[in-house]
A and B are shown apart, each in its own frame.
Chain A
Amino acid sequence: MKRIATAALAVTLLATAGCTGSGGGGTSGAAVPGVTDTEIVVGTHMPLTGPAAAGYSKIAPATKAYFDFVNANGGVHGRKISYKVKDDGYNPANTQTVVRELVLQDKVFAILNGLGTPTHTGVLDFLKTNRVPDLFVASGSRSWNQPDKYPGTFGFNPDYTVEGKILGTYVKENLSGKKACFLGQDDDFGRDSLAGIEKILGPVAAKESYVTSNPNVGPQMGALKAAGCEVVLLATVPGFTALSIGTAAKIAFKPQFVVSNVGADPTTVGKTLGAAAPLMEGLVAANYLPLNTDEANPWIQLFKKVNAEHNGNAEFDNNVVYGMSVGYLFVQALQAAGKDVTRDKIIETVQKNGFQGPGLVPLRFSAQDHSGYAGQQLTKVESGKAVYFGTPYTTDDNDGPVAAYQGQAATPPQNGVPAA
Chain B
Amino acid sequence: MTDVRTKDAVTAADAPVTARRRRVHPVIVIAVGAVLVIALTYVLPPFRNYQLATVGAYLCVTAGLTVLTGLNGQLSLGHGALMATGAYTLALTQNKFLNLPLSFAVAVLGTTVVGAVIGLAAARLRGPYLAGLTLAVATVVPSVTSTFDETFNSDQGLSVALDPPPETVPMEQWQAWLCWGAALVVVLLLALLVRGRFGRDLRAVRDDETAAKLAGVDVARTQVLAFVVSAACAGVAGALFAVLAQSVSPGAFPLTLSLFLLMAIVIGGLGSLFGALWGAVLLVLLPTLSQSVGESTGSQRLEGNLALVVFGVVLVVVMLAAPGGLASIRMKTRFRRNR
Contact = CB atoms under 8 A, between A and B. Distances in A.
Given A89-B304, A93-B252, A97-B54, A4 B24 contact: yes
B24 A121 contact: no
Contacts of B285: 17
Contacts of B45: 18-19, 21-22, 104-105
A369 interface: no
Interface in B39-53: 40, 43-48, 50, 52
A2 B154 CA distance: 48
B143 interface: yes
B301 A92 contact: no
Nearest to A90: B251
Contact of B300 (A11, A48, A50): A48
Residue from B40, B52, B304 whose CB has the most chain A CB atoms within 10 Å: B304
A4 B154 contact: no
A408 interface: no
A60 B246 CA distance: 26
A53 to B, nearest CB: 8
A138 to B, nearest CB: 16
Contact of B36 (A1, A8, A97, A101): A8
B301 to A, nearest CB: 6
A92 B304 contact: no
Contacts of B334: 2
B245 A104 contact: no
B153 interface: yes
Interface string A77-108: 00000000111011111001100110011000
Interface stretch (B1-9, B155-163, B208-216): B155-163
A100 B301 contact: no
Contact of B241 (A1, A6, A93): A93
Interface string A183-212: 001111000000000000000000001011
B47 A101 contact: yes
A214 B29 contact: no
B197 interface: no
Contact of B24 (A1, A17, A22, A89): A1
B274 A87 contact: no
Given A18-B44, A126-B246, A48 B52 contact: no
Contacts of A93: 241, 245, 249, 251-252
Given A48-B300, A87-B304, A188 B156 contact: yes
Contacts of A21: 45, 47-48
A14 B246 contact: no
A91 B241 CA distance: 13
B309 interface: no
Nearest to B156: A187
Nearest to A51: B251
Nearest to A102: B47
Contacts of B291: 86-87
Overall SS of chain A's interface? helix
Contacts of A122: 159, 245-247
A15 interface: yes
B207 to A, nearest CB: 24
B304 A49 contact: yes
B24 A3 contact: yes
A125 interface: yes
A213 B46 contact: no
A75 interface: no
Contacts of B305: 49
Nearest to B281: A10
B157 A118 contact: yes
Interface in B153-194: 153-157, 159, 162, 164, 171-172
Contact of A85 (B47, B143, B300): B300
Contacts of B40: 11, 14-15
Given A48-B301, A186-B149, A187-B153, A118 B47 contact: no
Interface residues of B, number: 57
Residue from A7, A86, A87 whose CB has the most chain B CB atoms within 10 Å: A87
B312 interface: no
Contacts of A85: 300
B300 A61 contact: yes
B111 to A, nearest CB: 18
B250 interface: yes
A129 to B, nearest CB: 6
Nearest to B244: A96
Interface in B232-248: 241, 244-247
B4 to A, nearest CB: 24
A116 to B, nearest CB: 10
A250 to B, nearest CB: 23
Contact of B156 (A15, A18, A118): A118
B274 A18 contact: no
B339 interface: no
A105 B157 contact: no
Given A104-B45, A104-B50, A118-B155, A4 B29 contact: yes
Contacts of A86: 291, 303
A89 B257 CA distance: 14
B128 interface: no
Nearest to A84: B295
A117 interface: yes
Contacts of A213: 142-143, 146, 155, 250-251
Contacts of A2: 330, 334
Contacts of B336: none
A57 interface: yes
B36 A17 contact: no
Given A18-B45, A49-B301, 9 more contacts: A4-B24, A15-B43, A15-B44, A49-B303, A60-B300, A96-B244, A117-B156, A186-B155, A212-B155
- Minimum-distance CB pairs A-B, first 8: A49-B304, A18-B48, A187-B156, A93-B252, A104-B47, A122-B247, A186-B154, A213-B142
12 contacts: A4-B32, A7-B274, A92-B157, A92-B249, A92-B252, A93-B245, A105-B47, A186-B149, A187-B153, A187-B154, A209-B149, A214-B143
Interface of A: 1-4, 6-8, 10-11, 14-15, 17-19, 21-22, 48-50, 57, 60-61, 85-87, 89-93, 96-97, 100-101, 104-105, 117-118, 121-122, 125-126, 129, 185-188, 209, 211-214
